[in-house]
């Protein structure tokens, strides 16, 4: 029984995702980040507890380790994972509500993906997010289809245990809560929520106890709280190496996101879609598969890759003849 | 040759050249690898030598030879850090203590496993249907690769339901996936139909268990022995204790959901109603548990209920094991309540203080004449007093008075004679699910009127042939082959 642990990604899964996807790494990361942000925003608008949105983030991240990014529209996968997780918990949301919220977030009226400092907030134009009956039916069917798809990809294992409650317990145990209680606890939770967006997929590579300890460590540093002078993380079964990795991983998300927004300006304007990603690939002169069949072309398995290399070699040799 | 359209796989000089090149490349790589390994080995040796030297120097330094600054510094620089603090600029304060207790052993959380796609149902060959009914379709099947016999349970999906896959089915899968106990049926995996473009056929692969308790009770000519009842109840209680320990309410315990294998092991099955609950429990639906096993607080409309509802069901099962008949067979909710009060007595302020506050209790008119005393002792005259006290406890009207599953395991009843029977000594039964049910000897039908059957030209001589090969003995003969 595993109330406090999660199934983790295997090294193979991580390796496959990075090495055999035709999408360059920075685009993969951008898709991951913006879709996770979208899920969080939808969670807020659907008035779901953060626990539900966070679990949906984790389910989505797991799904994308099994299935290629380009096989379905990113926002649709986000909607389906949020719908699924909410349904399994005590706060289900109807497909109607989910469809409406996503239609709004993806519309021109939503200020979600616009950086507030540079542009004025968009005018609220209800017709831009009105969902016609046909559009709603399509959205509804897509959510149900992807729900089954996600379950299939995850082997029907939807168990996600979050580090947030553990972090609070650990803070109590460390007596951190005595001083500046809101600040340090709030900061730790901020780190945990930010880590959900990290394309390093921290929730898929570390157990909740390690995430909780790293978030507390970072929060205590930020607030300037005095930490115990011994290797206190070992009390919570985290070793120094893992803690170090997570501390850096959690701290780096903010800077990384800022840089990515500069590198891919489209990110700051709207939600990434498959079309935008395809256009970006073309602009870079990268192979995007043959139009509509992109989904399968984006992930090559190692064997196909080897076969392709051999073909090239043979062609080369033949030319030399 | 170059003009000819040639096969890529044709064995010609091109291939030979390519092969040679590949071979060369491979050898080159091998050489590099070996080089690297050698270098690493050299480095390691050098490091060890340095360390040894440093250690020697250090020990010398300890012996009081001053002025060996660099030698003394060496071990500090070389000291082994099991987990380097790379990239933790802030990990300052604990540096010095890091070494002193670097041997400390961390307890590791048990791994949560991995995730990955479902396999296909084509990995299993169907043997026979077990049941097809309200619960959906269950079949006995065999895994092609291993020959292992399993039960395949198809998740019932209503395609017209626009809320997607049934949440109860998904809960059942998640709970069974999380459970690992000898008295809870094991879910091996979830498989899907061959066509994965649409996920419509979903099957639970469960361990195959030969019987369910209900059909055994229906078929057995004599009730279970007292010792057998104890074994079954102990196993049931230990399974339920495990579930409750892990915040799971089963919410549909009954004899048809309890499986029994041929080794006398009882397993709790069918988690379609089960769910995780917190402590204190949240508001939950009252529409749970099959009527005959439903606790009075559910019938009276309590929105908050807890583990005690499963204990009531265990009480009903206890009674059923003794008599082979369901204990409280109400026709509807009101009739069920009436039957409960007839058996357990009318609730009073003393026996169930909060009872009047339940939603359906306000409108309830109780007969004044019936006794408030429980009739359980009278109904089961053959039960020992310890057994009766356990049954009385389980069927207490006030949920707070029922024992927990853990309490039940410690009950006096299980320590008294007759002791619980060993599981291995359990009688076996013909398995309905394994298609052994029809073992009953079929007698030939009475002759049908009409033409007498003609034997025709049948040669009976074979019956007595080969007698000369028989060894002759005292009273009987053995045939030697």
Mean of all residue pLDDT scores within chain B: 77
Q: What is the pLDDT of residues B408-423, one digit of tens each?
A: 999 999 999 888 988 8
What's the 3-state SS for chain B? CCCCCCCCCCCCHHHHHHHHHHHHHHHHHHHHHHHHHHHHHHHHHHHHHHHHHHHHHHHHHHCCCCCCHHHHHHHHHHCCCCCCCCCCCCCCCCHHHHHHCCCCCCCCCCCCCCCCCCEEHHHEEEEEEEEEECCEEEEEEEECCCCCEEEEEECCCCCCCCCCCCHHHHHHHHHHHHCCCCCECCEEEEEECCCCCCCCCEEEEEECCCEEHHHHHHHCCCCCCHHHHHHHHHHHHHHHHHHHHCCEECCCCCHHHEEECCCCCEEECCCCCCEECCCCCCCCCCCCCCHHHCCHHHHCCCCCCCCHHHHHHHHHHHHHHHHCCCCCCCCCHHHHHHHHHHHHCCCCCCCCCCHHHCHHHCCCCCCCCCCCCCCHHHHCCCCCHHHHHHHHHHCCCCHHHCCCHHHHHCCHHHCCCCCCCCHHHCCCCCCCCCCCHHHCCCCCCCCCCCCCCCCCCCCCHHHHCCHHHEECCCCCCEECC
Largest CA distance in chain A: 80
Asked, for residue A1, whether it belongs to a domain, the answer is no
How many whole angstroms separate alpha carbon A298 and alpha carbon A284?
16
* Contact yes or no for A56/A85 (Cβ under 8 A): yes
pLDDT at A294: 41
Query: In the annotation, is B195 catalytic?
Result: no
Chain B: give the shortest CA distance to residue A123, in Å.
34
Task: Please identify, in words, the CATH class of the domain defined by B211-425.
Answer: mainly alpha
Determine the residue of chain B that is closest to A137 in CA distance: B162
Asked, for residue A179, whether it belongs to a domain, the answer is yes
Specify whether A142 is located in the same domain as A35: yes
Q: What is the pLDDT of residues B196-230, one digit of tens each?
A: 777 888 999 999 998 889 989 988 888 899 999 99
Asked, for residue A273, whether it belongs to a domain, the answer is no
Q: Would you state the structure tokens that stand for residue B323, as one six-digit string?
A: 């008599």
- Where b means 16+ CB within 10 Å and e means fewer, B170-183 reads bbbbbbbbbbebeb
Chain A contact for B12, CB < 8 A?
A: no
Number of domains into which chain A is organized = 3
Asked, for residue A94, whether it belongs to a domain, the answer is yes
pLDDT at B351: 83
Task: Name the 3-class secondary structure at A299.
Answer: strand
Asked, for residue A297, whether it belongs to a domain, the answer is yes
How are beta strands B202-207 and B211-212 bridged, if at all? unpaired
pLDDT at A238: 92
HSE-CB for A127 with a 13 A CA cutoff:
0
What's domain B123-207's superfamily in CATH?
Phosphorylase Kinase; domain 1 (3.30.200.20)
Q: Would you state the structure tokens that stand for residue A201, as one six-digit string?
A: 């997929």
Q: How many Å separate Cα A180 from the centre of its chain? A: 31
* Structural domain span for residue A139: 21-160
Asked, for residue A267, whether it belongs to a domain, the answer is no
How many whole angstroms separate alpha carbon A243 and alpha carbon B91?
10
Edge-to-edge order in the sheet of strand B211-212: B211-212, B258-260, B266-268
pLDDT exceeds cutoff 90 at A308: no
Specify whether A196 is located in the same domain as A148: no
Asked, for residue A220, whether it belongs to a domain, the answer is yes
pLDDT exceeds cutoff 80 at A240: yes
pLDDT at B468: 56
Helix (H) or strand (E) holding A27: helix A25-45
How many whole angstroms separate alpha carbon A133 and alpha carbon A100?
11
B97/A3 touch (CB, cutoff 8 Å), yes or no: no
Q: Sketch the domain layout of chain B as residue ranges.
A: 123-207, 211-425
Specify whether A139 is located in the same domain as A176: no
pLDDT at A21: 75
User: pLDDT higher for B364 or B390?
Assistant: B390
A152/B180 touch (CB, cutoff 8 Å), yes or no: no
pLDDT at A319: 61
If pLDDT is split at 50, 70 and 90, which confidence band does B369 have? low
pLDDT exceeds cutoff 60 at B399: yes
Specify whether A145 is located in the same domain as A174: no
User: pLDDT higher for B102 or A255?
Assistant: A255
Chain A contact for B453, CB < 8 A?
A: no
How many whole angstroms separate alpha carbon B192 and alpha carbon A302?
26
CB contacts under 8 A, B 154-173 vs A, are: 162-165, 167, 170-171, 173
Helix (H) or strand (E) holding A170: helix A164-173
Specify whether A173 is located in the same domain as A152: no
Specify whether A38 is located in the same domain as A146: yes
How many whole angstroms separate alpha carbon B403 and alpha carbon B318?
14
* Contact yes or no for B176/B271 (Cβ under 8 A): yes
Determine the residue of chain B that is closest to A62 in CA distance: B115
Q: Considering chain B, what percentage of its residues have pLDDT values greater than 90?
A: 35
Asked, for residue A301, whether it belongs to a domain, the answer is yes
Specify whether A85 is located in the same domain as A33: yes
B97, B165, B189 ranked by CB distance to A148: nearest: B165
Owner of token pair 């679990």: A55
pLDDT exceeds cutoff 90 at A285: no
Determine the residue of chain A that is closest to B199 in CA distance: A148
Edge-to-edge order in the sheet of strand B149-154: B119-120, B187-192, B202-207, B149-154, B136-143, B124-133
pLDDT exceeds cutoff 70 at B335: yes
Q: What is the pLDDT of residues A12-36, one digit of tens each?
A: 888 888 777 778 888 899 999 999 9
Q: What is the pLDDT of residues A107-127, one digit of tens each?
A: 888 877 766 555 667 777 888
Chain A contact for B253, CB < 8 A?
A: no
Specify whether A62 is located in the same domain as A181: no
Q: What is the pLDDT of residues B28-78, one digit of tens each?
A: 776 776 666 666 666 666 666 655 555 554 444 444 333 334 434 333 333
Q: What is the pLDDT of residues A49-80, one digit of tens each?
A: 999 999 999 999 999 999 988 889 999 999 99
Specify whether A29 is located in the same domain as A152: yes
B18, B85, B282 ranked by CB distance to A317: nearest: B18
pLDDT at B161: 81
Final residue belonging to a domain, choices A229, A253, A277:
A253
Owner of token pair 């499963």: B310
Q: Considering chain B, what percentage of its residues have pLDDT values greater than 70?
A: 67
* Contact yes or no for A300/A22 (Cβ under 8 A): yes
Q: Select which of B70, B212, B252, B407 is catalytic.
A: B252
Specify whether A155 is located in the same domain as A247: no
Helices A181-195 and A240-263: angle between axes, nearest 10 degrees: 70
Q: What is the pLDDT of residues B439-457, one digit of tens each?
A: 444 444 555 555 554 555 5
Specify whether A69 is located in the same domain as A200: no
* Contact yes or no for A100/A131 (Cβ under 8 A): yes
- Lowest mean pLDDT of A149-158, B68-77, B236-245, name the range: B68-77
Specify whether A100 is located in the same domain as A208: no
pLDDT at B242: 96
Q: What radius of gyration, in Å, describes the C-alpha atoms of chain B?
A: 36
What's this model's pTM, rounded to 2 decimal places?
0.74
Q: Fill in the DSSP letter of residue A290.
A: S
Q: Considering chain A, what percentage of its residues have pLDDT values greater than 70?
A: 84
């Amino acid at each position: 029984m595993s109330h406090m642990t999660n199934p983790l990604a295997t090294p193979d899964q991580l390796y496959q995702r990075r090495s055999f996807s035709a999408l360059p790494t920075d685009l993969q990361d951008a898709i991951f980040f913006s879709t996770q942000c979208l899920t969080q925003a939808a969670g807020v608008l659907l008035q779901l507890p953060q626990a539900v949105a966070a679990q949906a983030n984790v389910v989505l991240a797991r799904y994308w380790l099994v299935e290629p990014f380009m096989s379905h529209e990113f926002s649709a996968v986000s909607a389906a994972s949020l719908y699924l997780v909410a349904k399994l918990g005590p706060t289900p949301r109807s497909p109607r509500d989910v469809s409406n919220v996503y239609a709004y977030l993806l519309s021109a009226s939503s200020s979600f993906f616009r950086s507030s400092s540079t542009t004025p907030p968009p005018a609220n134009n209800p017709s831009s997010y009105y969902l016609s009956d046909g559009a709603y039916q399509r959205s509804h069917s897509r959510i149900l289809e992807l729900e089954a798809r996600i379950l299939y990809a995850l082997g029907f294992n939807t168990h996600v245990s979050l580090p947030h409650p553990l972090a609070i317990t650990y803070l109590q145990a460390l007596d951190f809560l005595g001083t500046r209680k809101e600040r340090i606890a709030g900061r730790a939770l901020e780190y945990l929520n930010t880590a959900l967006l990290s394309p390093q997929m921290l929730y898929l590579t570390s157990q909740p106890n390690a995430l909780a300890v790293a978030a507390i460590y970072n929060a205590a540093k930020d607030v300037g709280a005095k930490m115990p002078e011994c290797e206190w993380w070992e009390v919570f079964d985290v070793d120094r190496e893992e803690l170090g990795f997570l501390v850096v991983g959690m701290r780096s998300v903010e800077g990384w996101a800022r840089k990515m927004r500069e590198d891919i300006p489209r990110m700051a304007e709207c939600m990434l879609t498959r079309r935008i990603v395809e256009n970006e690939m073309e602009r870079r002169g990268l192979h995007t598969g043959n139009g509509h069949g992109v989904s399968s072309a984006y992930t090559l398995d190692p064997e196909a890759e080897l076969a392709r290399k051999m073909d090239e070699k043979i062609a080369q040799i033949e030319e030399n003849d | 040759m170059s003009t000819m359209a040639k096969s890529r796989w044709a064995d010609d000089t091109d291939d030979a050249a390519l092969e040679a090149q590949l071979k060369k490349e491979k050898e080159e790589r091998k050489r590099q690898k070996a080089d690297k390994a050698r270098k690493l080995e050299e480095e390691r040796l050098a490091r060890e030598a340095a360390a040894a030297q440093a250690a020697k120097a250090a020990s010398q330094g300890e012996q009081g030879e001053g002025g060996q600054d660099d030698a003394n510094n060496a071990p500090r620089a070389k000291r082994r850090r099991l987990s380097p603090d790379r990239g933790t600029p802030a990990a300052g304060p604990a540096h010095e203590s890091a070494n002193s207790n670097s041997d400390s052993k961390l307890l590791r959380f048990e791994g949560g496993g991995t995730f990955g796609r479902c396999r296909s149902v084509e990995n299993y060959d169907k043997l026979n249907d077990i049941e097809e009914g309200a619960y959906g379709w269950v079949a006995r099947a065999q895994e092609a690769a291993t020959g292992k016999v399993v039960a395949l349970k198809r998740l019932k999906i209503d395609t017209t339901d626009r809320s997607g896959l049934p949440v109860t089915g998904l809960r059942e899968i998640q709970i069974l996936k999380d459970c690992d106990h000898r008295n809870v049926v094991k879910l091996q995996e979830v498989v899907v139909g061959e066509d994965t473009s649409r996920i419509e056929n979903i099957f639970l692969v469960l361990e195959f268990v030969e019987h369910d308790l209900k059909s055994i009770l229906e078929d057995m000519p004599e009730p279970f022995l007292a010792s057998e009842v104890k074994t079954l109840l102990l196993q049931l209680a230990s399974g339920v204790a495990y579930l409750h320990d892990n915040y799971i309410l089963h919410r549909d315990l009954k004899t048809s959901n309890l499986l029994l294998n041929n080794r006398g092991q009882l397993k709790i099955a069918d988690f379609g109603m089960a769910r995780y609950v917190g402590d204190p429990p949240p508001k939950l639906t009252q529409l749970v548990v099959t009527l005959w096993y439903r606790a009075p607080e559910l019938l009276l409309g309590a929105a908050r209920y807890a583990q005690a509802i499963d204990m009531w069901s265990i009480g009903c099962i206890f009674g059923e094991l003794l008599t082979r008949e369901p204990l409280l067979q109400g026709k509807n909710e009101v009739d069920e309540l009436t039957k409960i009060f007839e058996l357990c007595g009318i609730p009073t302020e003393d026996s169930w203080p909060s009872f009047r506050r339940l939603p359906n209790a306000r409108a309830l008119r109780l007969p004044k004449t019936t006794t408030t005393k429980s009739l359980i002792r009278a109904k089961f005259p053959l039960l020992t007093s310890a057994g009766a006290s356990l049954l009385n406890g389980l069927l207490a009207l006030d949920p707070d008075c029922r024992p927990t599953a853990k309490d039940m395991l410690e009950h006096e009843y299980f320590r008294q004679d007759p002791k619980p029977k060993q599981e291995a000594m359990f009688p076996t039964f013909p398995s309905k699910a394994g298609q052994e049910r029809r073992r009953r000897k079929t007698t030939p039908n009475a002759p049908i009127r009409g033409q007498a059957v003609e034997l025709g030209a049948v040669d009976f001589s074979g019956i007595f042939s080969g007698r000369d090969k028989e060894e002759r003995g005292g009273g009987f003969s053995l045939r030697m082959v």
